[in-house]
Chains A and B, each alone.
Chain A
Amino acid sequence: MNVQSSSPSRKIVIDPVTRVEGHGKVTIRLNEAGEVEEARFHVVEFRGFERFIRGRMYWEVPVIIQRLCGICPVSHHLAAAKAMDRVIGVDKLTPTADKVRRLMHYGQLLQSNALHIFHLASPDLLFGFDAPPEQRNIIEVLNRFPEIGKWAIFIRKFGQEVIKATGGRKIHPTSAIPGGVNQNLSIEHRDDLRKDVDQIIGWCCAALAHHMTFVDANQALHRDFASYRSNYVSLVAPDGAMELYDGRLRALGPDGETIFDQVDPVDYREHFIEEVRPWTYLKFPHIRSLGRDNGWYRVGPLAQVNCCNSIDTPLAEAARKEFVARNGGSPVHATLAYHWARLICLVHCAEKIKEFLFDDDLQGTDLVLRGERRGEGIACIEAPRGTLIHHYTVDDNDQVASANLIVSTTNNNEAMNRAVKQVAMNDLSGREITEGLLNHIEVAIRAFDPCLSCATHALGQMPLIVTLEDADGGTIATRVKQ
């Protein structure tokens, strides 16, 4: 750690923040009394997919656009394929195509949620936010908690195997095409996956149970850390059940009141608008009718569980009921509850995978449909990190004419900024800044499982820098976290 100081004001730099996906930076400005005045979460990389995808043939988009993100490529692959279904005039896929894509999506959700909870976040929860930095990593988890290390490796591996069996490759799969899929699930792959699925469900449930020991042992921390009231947005099924592949948009207010419900994603522009601020490449979406100050919201597992009325798999539904009952029935606002909700989603995905492995439609041979060509396609999916919207127009030469992407982490932008500010004010103001305290900021950011390379349509790198500045914007102390 590198600290430069010239009293009375300070600028602290953490570079890089680790165990999140993508390159971000936090600046914290202090007033003359050494209190936190402003805290910002910056995303510092930019790619420009919206522009350079223009001119590409529409059928190339699902394989190009997923290169936004190597952690959740399936989410982008499928969102683009769903948008292009609309472009070629297909509103409903064949049962085989629909289920192959859903199974791929549940494989993706399983591996990405496992990656986050085990590989990235678990060191903070197992060893403590202030544990020595050399301990805060998955290798130390493997050494000291081999059972959890086993879950990490094998749950993630199983999700990747599901993606390969349905998508052709583990990373950047190729099977979703406009109008359907180019392969079904082979009997050999199905039988291989069937052998392991019960074990995987068991391990997901064990991981959830293990996490509950953290929740129970740290009730005040869990309730209060980076906690604030907010709105929530996610897709839900027509009956309000959890729906992660398709469905319609629901937005709830902080007391669970409906802001809108059953909105067709095609109408997303009527409900969402994005503010651009000069200090970050990440836009700030909000609900139009509520405006900038009140219209921001959270997405991701916490929103997915808060927004739905039920989950259509028994183990996850039982866990959801406990989640709701323990929190009095209204939306859960605790930021650390993202992990709890993520584990409920993990269990749900494992259960859904089993359901599809015993569904003969996955071996069907009716894979692709075509309809009447349209000029526009809009699609929405619940990625591991929350609601993801893809919107394309395609010209008469079959070339993409425009693209607009609102990705999960962008939806959480204001929320992550608030979490950073709250932790900075509660934990840093007027105190000697230690490496451990700076990790508290990273813990808050990590709860959202941000995927910053998705979010900027930019480049992936883990670093995050925290700078503290004085009231005049001058640098007083610089802290490089290492």
Chain B
Amino acid sequence: MTKPKLATCSLAGCFGCHMSLLDIDERIVELVDLVDLDKSPFDDKKEFDGPVDIGLVEGGCANEHNVHVLKQFRQHCRILVSVGACAITGGIPAMRNMVGLRECLEEAYLRGPTVEDGGLIPNDEDLPLLLDRVYPSHEIVKIDYFLPGCPPSADAIWAALKALLSGEAPNLPYPLLKYE
């Protein structure tokens, strides 16, 4: 019997949700028994080659590449889960929405106290276009479940995964959802 497939990505996040997934510690062995890891930063599978059962999305969308990856995930994943504050609300990176993109670029690349010769704002065609704002994932694609926290605890991620793998909607008790 083939195992369900799990894919993960980190968009405009800090990778902390992926670290929290690793915090399931020795349960990783059980996870590997339950699922096959598909496209993920933890392996070298760079593109989808078929449908995936569960996709975990960390981070919101701050540039066109994030949008591209998120749409790919929606296209290939039967169940898509927004994991953590950045995927759900834009999180800390969305603080730039209050300020404006140009201001942020100028502060970092023109005005910094160690910037040499007045600096410049990177603008090469090899850099993906930045979005005007940082967007939560559900404003770009349909999201099936939301797992809050910064990051959600390993126990919360584990409980949600176990429920989804048993074909149930995750219904996590409050202690696993509260934002401490």
User: Which of A165-173, A190-198, A213-221, A419-427 sits within the interface?
Assistant: A165-173
The interface residues of chain A lying within 8 Å CB-to-CB of B124 are 42, 278-280
A51 & B104 in contact (Cβ 8 Å cutoff): yes
User: Is A333 an interface residue, CB under 8 A from the partner?
Assistant: no
A171 & B19 in contact (Cβ 8 Å cutoff): yes
Given the interface contacts A50-B112, A51-B96, A274-B115, does A279 sit within 8 Å of B22 by beta carbon?
Answer: no
User: Is B74 an interface residue, CB under 8 A from the partner?
Assistant: no
The interface residues of chain A lying within 8 Å CB-to-CB of B115 are 273-274, 276, 283
Taking CB as reference atom, which chain A residue is nearest B84?
A70
User: Is A142 an interface residue, CB under 8 A from the partner?
Assistant: yes
User: Is B143 an interface residue, CB under 8 A from the partner?
Assistant: no
Task: For residue B36, give the distance in angstroms from its CB to the closest CB of chain A.
Answer: 9
User: Measured between alpha carbons, how far is A419 from B157 in the docked complex, in Å?
Assistant: 37
Given the interface contacts A51-B96, A52-B104, A153-B28, does A69 sit within 8 Å of B14 by beta carbon?
Answer: yes
B44 & A18 in contact (Cβ 8 Å cutoff): yes
User: Is A417 an interface residue, CB under 8 A from the partner?
Assistant: no
Given the interface contacts A71-B15, A406-B114, does A46 sit within 8 Å of B22 by beta carbon?
Answer: no
Among A19, A280, A460, the residue within 8 A (CB) of B14 is A460
B108 & A137 in contact (Cβ 8 Å cutoff): no
In this complex, which of B14, B26, B105 has the most chain A Cβ atoms within 10 angstroms of its Cβ? Answer: B14
Taking CB as reference atom, which chain B residue is nearest A52?
B95
User: Which of A21-29, A88-96, A201-209, A244-252 sits within the interface?
Assistant: A21-29
B interface residues, tally (CB under 8 Å)? 71
User: Is A470 an interface residue, CB under 8 A from the partner?
Assistant: no
User: Is A73 an interface residue, CB under 8 A from the partner?
Assistant: yes
Taking CB as reference atom, which chain A residue is nearest B59?
A459
In chain B, positions 87-127 with a C-beta closer than 8 Å to chain A are 91-93, 95-96, 98-99, 101, 103-109, 112-117, 119-124, 126-127
B66 & A139 in contact (Cβ 8 Å cutoff): no
The 8 A CB mask of A427-444 against B (1 = contact, 0 = none) is 000000000000100000
The 8 A CB mask of B44-88 against A (1 = contact, 0 = none) is 111101000000001100110110010000000000000000000
User: Is A326 an interface residue, CB under 8 A from the partner?
Assistant: no
Taking CB as reference atom, which chain B residue is nearest A131?
B44
The 8 A CB mask of B147-180 against A (1 = contact, 0 = none) is 0001100100000000000000000000000001
User: Which of A334-342, A362-370, A461-469 sits within the interface?
Assistant: A461-469
In chain B, positions 15-30 with a C-beta closer than 8 Å to chain A are 15-20, 22-23, 25-26, 28-29
For this complex, 30 residue pairs linking A to B, each with C-beta atoms less than 8 Å apart, are A18-B40, A18-B42, A19-B42, A21-B15, A22-B15, A42-B127, A44-B65, A45-B63, A51-B103, A52-B99, A67-B14, A69-B14, A69-B16, A70-B15, A115-B19, A136-B44, A137-B44, A142-B28, A156-B25, A157-B26, A170-B23, A171-B19, A280-B127, A281-B122, A404-B112, A453-B14, A457-B108, A459-B59, A461-B69, A482-B49
User: Measured between alpha carbons, how far is A269 from B115 in the docked complex, in Å?
Assistant: 10
The interface residues of chain B lying within 8 Å CB-to-CB of A142 are 28-29, 32
Task: For residue A232, give the distance in angstroms from its CB to the closest CB of chain B.
Answer: 19
User: Measured between alpha carbons, how far is A396 from B99 in the docked complex, in Å?
Assistant: 21
User: Is A347 an interface residue, CB under 8 A from the partner?
Assistant: no
The interface residues of chain B lying within 8 Å CB-to-CB of A54 are 107
Task: For residue B108, give the distance in angstroms from its CB to the closest CB of chain A.
Answer: 5
Given the interface contacts A48-B104, A115-B22, does A139 sit within 8 Å of B37 by beta carbon?
Answer: yes
Among A47, A154, A172, the residue within 8 A (CB) of B96 is A47
A460 & B47 in contact (Cβ 8 Å cutoff): no
User: Measured between alpha carbons, how far is A140 from B42 in the docked complex, in Å?
Assistant: 11
User: Measured between alpha carbons, how far is A115 from B28 in the docked complex, in Å?
Assistant: 14
The interface residues of chain A lying within 8 Å CB-to-CB of B150 are 67, 172
User: Is B7 an interface residue, CB under 8 A from the partner?
Assistant: no
Given the interface contacts A44-B63, A274-B115, does A281 sit within 8 Å of B29 by beta carbon?
Answer: no
The interface residues of chain B lying within 8 Å CB-to-CB of A460 are 10, 13-15, 18, 58-59
Taking CB as reference atom, which chain A residue is nearest B120?
A276
B binding-site residues for A, Cβ under 8 Å: 9-20, 22-23, 25-26, 28-29, 32, 37, 40-47, 49, 58-59, 62-63, 65-66, 69, 91-93, 95-96, 98-99, 101, 103-109, 112-117, 119-124, 126-128, 130, 150-151, 154, 180
In this complex, which of B37, B107, B180 has the most chain A Cβ atoms within 10 angstroms of its Cβ? Answer: B107
Among A67, A283, A463, the residue within 8 A (CB) of B46 is A463
A467 & B126 in contact (Cβ 8 Å cutoff): yes
User: Is A138 an interface residue, CB under 8 A from the partner?
Assistant: yes
A70 & B18 in contact (Cβ 8 Å cutoff): yes
Given the interface contacts A52-B96, A280-B122, does A138 sit within 8 Å of B42 by beta carbon?
Answer: yes
User: Measured between alpha carbons, how far is A160 from B23 in the docked complex, in Å?
Assistant: 8
A269 & B113 in contact (Cβ 8 Å cutoff): yes
The interface residues of chain A lying within 8 Å CB-to-CB of B117 are 275
In this complex, which of A137, A279, A460 has the most chain B Cβ atoms within 10 angstroms of its Cβ? Answer: A460
A18 & B25 in contact (Cβ 8 Å cutoff): no
The interface residues of chain B lying within 8 Å CB-to-CB of A273 are 114-116
A139 & B120 in contact (Cβ 8 Å cutoff): no
Given the interface contacts A142-B28, A171-B20, does A281 sit within 8 Å of B127 by beta carbon?
Answer: yes
Task: For residue A14, give the distance in angstroms from its CB to the closest CB of chain B.
Answer: 8
Taking CB as reference atom, which chain B residue is nearest A285?
B114
User: Is A134 an interface residue, CB under 8 A from the partner?
Assistant: yes
The 8 A CB mask of A381-408 against B (1 = contact, 0 = none) is 0000000000100000000001010100
User: Measured between alpha carbons, how far is A286 from B41 in the docked complex, in Å?
Assistant: 31
The interface residues of chain A lying within 8 Å CB-to-CB of B123 are 278
A404 & B114 in contact (Cβ 8 Å cutoff): yes
Known: A21-B15, A27-B126, A53-B95. 17 other contacts (CB 8 A): A19-B41, A22-B15, A42-B127, A45-B128, A46-B62, A48-B96, A48-B104, A70-B20, A157-B23, A170-B19, A276-B121, A279-B127, A283-B109, A453-B13, A453-B14, A459-B63, A460-B58
